[in-house]
Amino acid sequence: MAAAMVHPGAWPAARPTMGVTMPNPREEPPAWSELDDSLRAALRFLAYECDDPGPVPEGPALLPRQEGLDGEIMPRMTVVLDLDETLSHCRLEPLKSLQPDFCVHFEESKATGYVYVRPNARLFLEVASRLFEVVVFTASSKSYADQVLDQLDPDRQHISTRLYRQHCVERSGAFLKDLRRMGRRMDRCLLVDNSPVSLALCPDNGVVVSSWTAEDPDDKELMELLLILQQCDLEASVPQFLGRRYGLRAMVELLRRRPDLLE
């Protein structure tokens, strides 16, 4: 929670460095020297700490068997969503200018967390769950995440599976999300996350959303995301579409050849 740092002057608000509406870095490379520190660190991690995803981990799939698959050529697309700074934002002090949507309680520290729901998050979940299999995968603890998800999806109608920190893969101190463990076809599965680090094991299947920290009440990222998901759903292959649209793997490969870009 609350990990993202905000640098209001670092980039024009209308064009986040990384997010659903970002240009393809091959066509319009980011201004490397203007990246904020957290994004610079995330890209360094992707390029230099995690150059090999390793073999597909053994063990049971994280998602239950998809029903109605027999004879189906094109299964429902599986959309795996991050929670913090993607669907909601939790902070230990409430904002002066905005009432939180609800509070959570941290068992260990006995602290209160003030939670803000990203604009359109509930509508997004409602619409997306009609079209896709919707899963939430957070690197946060189960006790915290369940308090937030019980508010976002109180009747458990929209999010079919909840995955938590214990389902992540730890590497070099970071919690990564390995889509290959879902038990879904990789050409019909994608991960949406505000942190590029989470996508390290599956850059071809990742969509980076801008980090939302409750400062922008007019944020439209989740509606933009819905449009991209609908386009993606019409394509034969999720990674082919996302590779064309965002080129994350190509960007990481460029950074490996040109480490000077992030210096």
Nearest approach, Cβ of residue 25 and Mg ion (Å): 21
Q: Which is nearer to Mg ion, 84 or 187 (CB)?
A: 84
Is 216 known to be catalytic? no
Which of the following is catalytic: 84, 153, 187, 219?
A: 84
Nearest approach, Cβ of residue 73 and Mg ion (Å): 34
Q: Which is nearer to Mg ion, 168 or 188 (CB)?
A: 168
Query: In this chain, which of 43, 50, 80, 85 binds Mg ion, going by CB under 5 A?
Result: 85
**Under the criterion CB under 5 A, does residue 84 sit at the interface with Mg ion?**
yes
**Under the criterion CB under 5 A, does residue 194 sit at the interface with Mg ion?**
yes
**Under the criterion CB under 5 A, does residue 204 sit at the interface with Mg ion?**
no
Nearest approach, Cβ of residue 77 and Mg ion (Å): 21
* Nearest residue to 179 via CA among 137, 211, 147: 137
Which of the following is catalytic: 36, 70, 82, 146?
A: 82
Evaluated on CA atoms 218, 214, 200, 35, the torsion sign reads: positive
User: Which range in 58-66, 108-116, 168-176, 188-196 contacts Mg ion by CB under 5 A?
Assistant: 188-196
User: Which range in 113-121, 154-162, 191-199, 233-241 contacts Mg ion by CB under 5 A?
Assistant: 191-199
* Total interface residues for Mg ion by CB under 5 A: 4
User: Which range in 48-56, 117-125, 189-197, 251-259 contacts Mg ion by CB under 5 A?
Assistant: 189-197
Strands of the 102-105 sheet, one edge to the other: 88-91, 112-117, 102-105
User: Which range in 36-44, 78-86, 115-123, 145-153 contacts Mg ion by CB under 5 A?
Assistant: 78-86
Is 178 known to be catalytic? no
d(CA 41, CA 200): 13
**Under the criterion CB under 5 A, does residue 88 sit at the interface with Mg ion?**
no
**Under the criterion CB under 5 A, does residue 82 sit at the interface with Mg ion?**
yes
**Under the criterion CB under 5 A, does residue 101 sit at the interface with Mg ion?**
no
Q: What are phi and psi of 87, to 5 degrees?
A: -105, -25
**Centroid of chain to Cα 33:** 24
The contact set with Mg ion (CB under 5 A) reads 82, 84-85, 194
Which amino acids are annotated catalytic?
A: 82, 84
